[in-house]
Structure 1
């Protein structure tokens, strides 16, 4: 169709959208109503809501949109917690894992004063439930009295002015036993005062699992757990079709100006068969990704409507593709004028079509008839004789013997497309900038640019690990991301900024944890981790991962004994010593000074117990004023600065620098601002001076 190949195209992630700017399906009215239902929870009773819909209907996206709608609008503010039970599937520790994550959440600074005391109680409850009777008995029976612990927790939550909102997604991916455990959490174990749970699942899958596991009516059981279930509003077929057609015009810009004959072929294919498969956003993404992988390098060599049709079959009907590839002579070419072989052709095509799912059979048949006139003739359609061969050749149709093979030169099935995607990512991962660009190729639908938020882009890698990767692939990807995680996390993110911003390094860590979970043997996980940290893992990536693993001890536990703090420390201590040695070497050979996020590394080093060494290094490294301001900005950025006084961690800075020298230095830079001082640097100095003076005034007042 087009003499010039279109610009390089990028895959669309089968990942939830993060905010309303990416919503192409007009779901915000529903989101606002759902958010209002959450706000409307009155009293202190625990409330359970559910968002139900089939796989691929956009439940995860809707949860993200609801969370965004609630952000900053609820009074008093909600404490929002996301718990993905699928992360813990197969560990046998679903209930304790949730309680531990809840305990970590209530110790966050904004709620620590009112809810922080719940952390110890939640740990006690997790221990009592994880392995009842197996732990060494304490002197005080109250420490293992589940009812007493729950009463204490209820009192803490009831007296808080903050309601806790817990989103639980992907419940339908769990085993039947795990699904029932999760329902036990929200109605019997963690139904604490002032809590709201929002569960997301495929209703039919969960109902069937309950029935199979418990031998009861799944619908009735679920009704006793969930007070309000809201079904996902499936987007109208016209909305999905318009979205796909808009993307087709991006894939081939000349699609906007097709001649009348090509438009007719497109309409017949689309309305006759392709539209049948566009039932969910996930199905649309699947088709578009296969087309995006195959068409760009074939533009100018194939007929666009035919390429769309064959990509649809690659996405949704392996039987059709197998028949076409294996018996091409029954599809390609013209009909015999005298009808020779018609009966055999008819029997052949009726036979393979009979193996296509009944639900899809008519649509697959319509697509194949549109692509191949010989098939249409065999199934009682019109005859197209030898006189059409030249026209098909000129149009580069798939039914032309000369062009048939071109359509399968890059003919990838949906699963092959995912494998191709993984290989491309790993091939580019040794070049940090190229890998960052590769990740940015997995942007949201029609986002308007190729550099969406790094978090969303890493989401695609996480989804691939969870859904597609083999243990070996997960191992390779883990090592590669460990090696380049520091650069990836510092890549420029042109995505929108939010009040509750997640640092890209944490997205990197979550992908790494997904990779470890994909490696089945816990001892091998530990070996892979140790080898990577001792080799060439990024200092910040390794430090953040070890910090996270301190809270996810189940990843390294072999399951033979109940986990204890001592056991967890013992497993990570060896790796932590390796990292400590590497950071010390980096502080001496200049590597740490050249790190673009050296203050984050220093903070972790200090957290791991090296307070004196980290302080001495910072003071020596920041003798230069420009370096000093750079360090302040890094610390402010790491604290999530948004222009207020709170984000700059003054206590940390006072420990790292001399207080009086820091104040004198900052005031001098304010009076005589150097040319290199940026507006953001000036604001940071202003914040620092104000906080230091405020701290001094408070100290004087207390004397």
Structure 2
């Protein structure tokens, strides 16, 4: 059904459920509401310390709502928007001081010419501004002291008298013992009021709109302190407070902190008006989700068209299941992020509708998600000839009915179409409870799920649980650890590779192979240059040893680890390949990479080039060839014979280097009988046929690149008959039998 884009998800970003900032991004038609409310805030409110509640449950979009209001107000002359974020402060005693510091800073930044009256001289404007901001800072510092040692009674007392008494003072008039200051608190507040009224007189439109978000996420005592501040401590002219909260949560915070019977009655005295976030219609939420997914995954949706089964499941997913579970814009954002994070991890041809259904369960119905996972674990046993126990079908059917009952579906399971997503539950969808079953597979049902690689496939179900992989899968932390180590240095990255190599598994190298697969799933060029260079350096240290210890992981006789490592270089383009070649311990793998790049550039000369595969420049390739052939000459050809895949290195040397020099080195190495046998073992190739399986033949054209093939075969045949030892004769005979000669005369 699905066509997987090999780089799907590469252009997507995880945004979480962060609030939107601009009305241009509005997905739910809030524009008119925002315009009317912003206009009212700018033109109609004149009261001192006006407190407006923005109320809605968590996830309903309160933060986005006030962000849109702020965007509108900031475009209105005289309107100032201040964002007070108390949850960043983390200290009840500092909340009030932090607020007044924020207000004073805003006063400092007001343009003198536009906000202070034209009747003032520039010096008078500056002096008035400094006097006002200074008074605000002092007032905040003094009143903050009253928040330190307060109890229930002090919190209920908006004047602060009880709090002052708790610190050892009996009058609000002076705080000299605490600050060495003799200025009355009442006088400071009067100065602030007078300064703000002067601002208002010279500019009637001026207003400070203070947004206080997430009050209901604060500890109860801090939430109460914010309410006290808004009600009495900072009830100044020109200030409007927009306080975002969930009324149920905030009422409970007040009740617990102040030990009241009804916290709601207290909060009702704080807010002059409460604006409730417009509830989003389920249809609007489903439409928004579908639109976001279609923009992100157009090919997946296009592949659904024309497939009647997939189209029906798409209808069930969005119109039934999403209609039941999506209740807030946050649900839409979280589900969308879950999709773009998990979907690229799935193998090609995975089913998009099944995947979306499972992600919706994971987000909104954990119990159904867990039931589905357990059910599919049992379905998976059918692939190996297993069956559910005698009582399990009935027990799981009853538990599913109980879960579905929470959503009003226990007697109407058929409307959910659950049997379209899971095999063996068709009987469960019937009305008759006594006949409901699970693991009740219709004819060829499992085969159809298997053929389409569906969620309910016994062979493929586990891949849909991308972050809940089995013990033989690679965890995301392993990928993160390797990439972090690549940045830290080649030695650290090699240690991670070695740790994965030594992790127990029936196939040595399995986890390294999975790591390379996961890295290949990353978008091309997505690694930083530092990480890409670190990865190259780690490979240059470890790849030869990895190949030796992972002999079963190969294809067409070549190490799959080498092939994937080479492809990773092409995708991530490290910058230091030329610098690595002279010191690489994994010279066999380096030879493999250089030879592949030689083919990409059309070497040996006259061969067809492949520009799309070229990631080394021709100059860097030529320098790499010079360096690697110099290394071959320096340590001798016998060392090449002992490499894990010597023919790769020999071909690299003879095809990209000086063939005459290579033949001289090989001729010197085969002067004795053991040297000849060692050289011929190194020249053996790879072949697979239905008759003989995998074999490692010798071929005339290969041996002929390095030695005279006819003379060498004659010498080998003589050794097989007349060798000095039984082992030499046996090895020579085996090599002669494996030799596929073009001219057998």
Superposition TM-score tier, normalisation by shorter sequence: 0.5 to 0.7
Give CA deviations for 1:119-143 in whole Å, capped at 9, x if unaligned. 2222222222233558863898642
1:194 aligned partner = 238
Structure 1 position 344 matched with structure 2 position 344: no
Q: What TM-score comes out, normalization by structure 1 length?
A: 0.54
Once residues 100 and 53 of structure 1 are traced to their aligned partners in structure 2, the CA distance between those partners, rounded to angstroms, is 29
Change (3 A) 1:183 1:409: closer
Of 102, 121, 146 in structure 1, the residue corresponding to residue 135 of structure 2 is 121
- Conserved 8 A contact 1:393-1:400: yes
Report 1 or 2 for greater relative contact order, CA contacts < 8 Å, sequence distance ≥ 6: 1
1:137 aligned partner = 177
1:388 aligned partner = 445
Change (3 A) 1:361 1:96: farther
Once residues 80 and 410 of structure 1 are traced to their aligned partners in structure 2, the CA distance between those partners, rounded to angstroms, is 42
Tell me, which stretches of 5 or more residues in structure 1 are unaligned?
A: 413-418, 432-483, 485-703
Of 61, 64, 73 in structure 2, the residue corresponding to residue 61 of structure 1 is 64
Of 155, 159, 163 in structure 1, the residue corresponding to residue 198 of structure 2 is 159
Change (3 A) 1:299 1:69: farther
Give CA deviations for 1:464-519 in whole Å, capped at 9, x if unaligned. xxxxxxxxxxxxxxxxxxxx9xxxxxxxxxxxxxxxxxxxxxxxxxxxxxxxxxxx
Once residues 354 and 146 of structure 1 are traced to their aligned partners in structure 2, the CA distance between those partners, rounded to angstroms, is 63
Once residues 426 and 191 of structure 1 are traced to their aligned partners in structure 2, the CA distance between those partners, rounded to angstroms, is 54
In the TM superposition, residue 334 of structure 1 has moved relative to its aligned partner by: 8.1
The worse-fitting range, judged by mean Cα deviation, of 58-67 and 272-281 is: 272-281
Counterpart mapping for 1:477-626 below 5 A: none
Once residues 485 and 43 of structure 2 are traced to their aligned partners in structure 1, the CA distance between those partners, rounded to angstroms, is 49
Once residues 299 and 309 of structure 1 are traced to their aligned partners in structure 2, the CA distance between those partners, rounded to angstroms, is 17
Once residues 157 and 238 of structure 1 are traced to their aligned partners in structure 2, the CA distance between those partners, rounded to angstroms, is 47
Size of the aligned set, in residue pairs, is 422
Once residues 15 and 317 of structure 1 are traced to their aligned partners in structure 2, the CA distance between those partners, rounded to angstroms, is 22
1:35 aligned partner = 38
Change (3 A) 1:298 1:256: same
2:313 aligned partner = 265
In the TM superposition, residue 262 of structure 1 has moved relative to its aligned partner by: 0.9
1:16 aligned partner = 19
Change (3 A) 1:195 1:119: same
- Conserved 8 A contact 1:142-1:148: no
RMSD: 3.8
3-state secondary structure, aligned to 2:459: coil
Structure 1 position 236 matched with structure 2 position 298: no
Give CA deviations for 1:360-379 in whole Å, capped at 9, x if unaligned. 98699947544213234346
Give CA deviations for 1:269-309 in whole Å, capped at 9, x if unaligned. 33332332211111111111111112124253311111111
In the TM superposition, residue 42 of structure 1 has moved relative to its aligned partner by: 4.5
Change (3 A) 1:318 1:103: same
Structure 1 position 212 matched with structure 2 position 212: no
In the TM superposition, residue 385 of structure 1 has moved relative to its aligned partner by: 2.0
In the TM superposition, residue 212 of structure 1 has moved relative to its aligned partner by: 2.6
Which of these two proteins has the greater Rg computed from alpha carbons?
2
3-state secondary structure, aligned to 1:188: helix
Q: What TM-score comes out, normalization by structure 2 length?
A: 0.51
2:83 aligned partner = 82
- Conserved 8 A contact 1:342-1:378: no
Structure 1 position 147 matched with structure 2 position 186: yes
- Conserved 8 A contact 1:333-1:374: no
1:185 aligned partner = 229
1:377 aligned partner = 427
Change (3 A) 1:422 1:80: farther
Once residues 139 and 386 of structure 1 are traced to their aligned partners in structure 2, the CA distance between those partners, rounded to angstroms, is 86
Once residues 429 and 50 of structure 1 are traced to their aligned partners in structure 2, the CA distance between those partners, rounded to angstroms, is 50
Give CA deviations for 1:25-55 in whole Å, capped at 9, x if unaligned. 1111111111022113354533111111111
Counterpart mapping for 1:242-261 below 5 A: 242-249=287-294, 250-258=296-304, 259-261=307-309
In the TM superposition, residue 148 of structure 1 has moved relative to its aligned partner by: 2.2
In the TM superposition, residue 357 of structure 1 has moved relative to its aligned partner by: 9.6
2:629 aligned partner = none
- Conserved 8 A contact 1:176-1:209: yes
In the TM superposition, residue 325 of structure 1 has moved relative to its aligned partner by: 3.5
Of 262, 267, 276 in structure 2, the residue corresponding to residue 222 of structure 1 is 267
Once residues 41 and 13 of structure 2 are traced to their aligned partners in structure 1, the CA distance between those partners, rounded to angstroms, is 37
Once residues 292 and 178 of structure 2 are traced to their aligned partners in structure 1, the CA distance between those partners, rounded to angstroms, is 63
In the TM superposition, residue 10 of structure 1 has moved relative to its aligned partner by: 2.5
Structure 1 position 399 matched with structure 2 position 482: no
Change (3 A) 1:53 1:43: closer
- Conserved 8 A contact 1:168-1:200: yes
Change (3 A) 1:299 1:166: same
1:544 aligned partner = none
Of 54, 70, 75 in structure 1, the residue corresponding to residue 73 of structure 2 is 70
